[in-house]
Amino acid sequence: MVTGVNLTIRKATDADSSALSRICLLTADAGKSAEGLHDYGELPGLIWAVPYVKLPTTWGFVLVDEALRDEIGQGLVVGYIVGTTDTRAFEQHAAQFWWPAQTEKYSPLLASKPADLRCINMLHNMQVTPDANLDFADAHMHINILKEYQGKGWGRELVGRAVEYLKEVGVKGDGLWLGLDPRNTIARKFYEKLGFERIWGADENHMGLKFANWKNIHR
């Protein structure tokens, strides 16, 4: 467990689902809050966060502010990193056990805001990962930290914990990859600083990290 003045990192669990959903919404607009863009604020989390504490092959870690308490009196989750060790297996599990339940609940006819419609359309037509990404590595990740906790080295700590975990369990390709919003140039610079690079043959907004290239820069 990594500890700061009041911050700790621990494994994510299903009980963290609501916290993951909240943080995902508050960072979904290229790192900024997307609250005003959605009538259904849970939608971003249903795609990019919550499945990673619900389905097989997944892993995750949360950043907790122990000085603050959530609604049940536990330390407040203020950031997370989640992912899968096997992207293709994750997609297969999600196609069978996760996306159908969401499409039953959310019809495109419900959406009056473009961001809601985009998310709902994704739920109804979830794309599969291109082979170029999986040729690089089977594992992928998503990371988000609330704005007031950014720029303090905790993103690097979360990525480092993920790298440590994935090296322990072993993943094909000895690395992991992610997709990022092209508008979020700060995030791109952050990943580059840690050793992430463009995945050749993949979408230009996908970046990958080989564990051998991990740059464990101290805060």
The 3-state secondary structure of the chain, one letter per residue: CEECCCEEEEECCHHHHHHHHHHHHHHCECCECCHHHCCCCCHHHHHHCHHHHCCCCEEEEEEEEEEEECCCCCEEEEEEEEEECCHHHHHHHHHHHCHHHHHHHCCHHHCCCHHHHHHHHHHHCCCCCCHHHHHHCCEEEEEEECHHHCCCCHHHHHHHHHHHHHHHHCCCCCEEEEECCCCCHHHHHHHHHHCCEECCCCCCCEEEEEHHHCCCCCC
Q: Is position 151 within any domain?
A: yes
171 vs 209: CA distance, rounded Å: 13
Burial of residue 118, with CB atoms counted within 10 A of its CB: 0-12 exposed, 13-18 middle, 19 or more buried = middle
For 37-62, what is the mean pLDDT? Answer: 98
Q: Return the structure tokens found at 93.
A: 């599990």
pLDDT of residue 116: 98
* 13 CA to centre of own chain: 14
Q: Return the structure tokens found at 147.
A: 């704005």
The pTM for the full model equals 0.94
For residue 21, name the pLDDT band (cuts at 50, 70, 90).
very high
Q: Is position 18 within any domain?
A: yes
For 42-61, what is the mean pLDDT? Answer: 98
Mean residue pLDDT across the chain: 94
Residue with tokens 């990673």: 52
pLDDT of residue 72: 78
Q: How many residues make up the chain in this entry? A: 219
pLDDT of residue 73: 82
100 vs 5, which has greater pLDDT? 100
pLDDT of residue 3: 52
Q: Is position 115 within any domain?
A: yes
For 179-193, what is the mean pLDDT? Answer: 93
- For 17, the domain range is 2-130+140-172
Contacts of 154 (CB under 8 A, 6+ apart): 4, 7, 63, 79, 145
How many domains does the chain contain in total? Answer: 1
Tell whether the model's pLDDT for residue 2 goes beyond 70. no
Q: Is position 177 within any domain?
A: no
Q: Is position 219 within any domain?
A: no
71 vs 73: CA distance, rounded Å: 6
pLDDT of residue 218: 47
Q: Is position 184 within any domain?
A: no
Task: Give the model confidence (pLDDT) of 104-152 as tens digits.
Answer: 999 999 999 999 999 999 999 999 999 999 999 999 999 999 999 999 9
Question: pLDDT above 70 covers what percent of the chain?
Answer: 96
Q: Is position 207 within any domain?
A: no
pLDDT of residue 69: 86
Q: Which domain CATH number covers 29?
A: 3.40.630.30
8 vs 97: CA distance, rounded Å: 32
Q: Is position 186 within any domain?
A: no
Q: Of the given ranges (28-42, 67-81, 107-121), which has the lowest mean pLDDT?
A: 67-81
Using alpha carbons only, give the angle 200, 214, 75 rounded to the nearest 5 degrees.
115
